[in-house]
Amino acid sequence: MNQKVAVLGTGKIGEALLSGMIRAGWAPADLVVTARRTERAAELRGRYGVESVGNAEAAKTADTLILAVKPQDMGALLDELGPHVAADRLVISAAAGIRTGFFEERLAEGIAVVRVMPNTPVLVDEGMSVISAGRRATETHLVRTEAIFQPVGKTLRVPEKHQDAATALSGSGPAYFYYLVEAMTDAGILLGLPRAQAHDLIVQSAIGAAVMLRDSGEHPVKLREAVTSPAGTTINAIRELEKHGVRAALLAALEAARDRSRELASGQ
């Protein structure tokens, strides 16, 4: 890989992607990062051996720019970058909500834009990155994008109209599972278990269930039925989940996340 990639705004997701690229074999010399604070830039240089530069310098030197600032900071970043991005560059946005048209309007004619929604499990090479081409992005640009995201998990191409939904499902998705683990661990405390044991029981159950979902090819209902013995314990718990509207709560929660992604598109 002799393309140079810059990560602009190397916070949580930017660093997760940077570490993934290094694990995947990218040479630190082919990677540059930008950060707003000098101490953060020094931390990244020390941790990964990459060069840290200003945003304009990154735009001039890298073939591919991954923009990973918050959606609310994207306008200011593009104002700074605009004059320095040459027409043959690929711009990849990891920001929730912001549409590819937002970049295309603010960057020089011809620049290809790809929108990607990754998630934090890219840190353990189990990410889910959902990819959409902007108006000027070609198959080659999509393949270049996949070369960055595939080594750190799965990728899926979707039409851009599905990006806000994908953000609600997989972009934010890990947080819902952490929330469930937290709540179920509390339940373990309620039932009298030490916190550390409750945590281990729930985390291992989550890992086992996730691997079965991925590897068995079975529908989740089938897998749940195999756990739910007649007149047993599980069905009592399921009855309570239904009574408390957990399924409806999840439908509403993901719809709210999708709606927030749409709002972010208009800079709110």
Ligand X SMILES: NC(=O)C1=CN([C@@H]2O[C@H](COP(=O)(O)OP(=O)(O)OC[C@H]3O[C@@H](n4cnc5c(N)ncnc54)[C@H](OP(=O)(O)O)[C@@H]3O)[C@@H](O)[C@H]2O)C=CC1
Ligand Y SMILES: O=C(O)[C@@H]1CCC=N1
Using CB under 6 A, list all residues that contact ligand Y.
96, 167, 171-172
153 binds ligand X (CB under 6 A): no
Residue ranges in 4-23 that form contacts with ligand X under rule CB under 6 A: 8-9, 11-14
Residue nearest to ligand X as judged by C-beta position: 11
Q: Closer CB to ligand X, residue 32 or residue 95?
A: 95
Nearest C-alpha neighbor of 96 from the set 116, 77, 122 = 116
List strands edge to edge, sheet with 5-8.
Answer: 51-52, 31-34, 5-8, 64-67, 90-93, 112-117, 127-133, 153-157
Closest contact distance (angstroms) between CB of 165 and ligand Y is 12
Strand, coil or helix: what is 118? coil
70 binds ligand X (CB under 6 A): yes
Nearest C-alpha neighbor of 80 from the set 103, 54, 56 = 56
Q: Closer CB to ligand Y, residue 121 or residue 134?
A: 121
Residue with token string 């902007």: 134
Per the CB < 8 A criterion, the answer to whether 3 and 30 are in contact is yes
Residue 118: name its binding partner from ligand X, ligand Y, none (Cβ under 5 to 8 Å by kind): ligand X
Residue with token string 């595939």: 150
Residue ranges in 196-235 that form contacts with ligand X under rule CB under 6 A: none
User: What are the residues binding ligand X (CB under 6 A)?
Assistant: 8-9, 11-14, 34-37, 40, 55, 68-71, 73, 76-77, 94-96, 117-120, 171
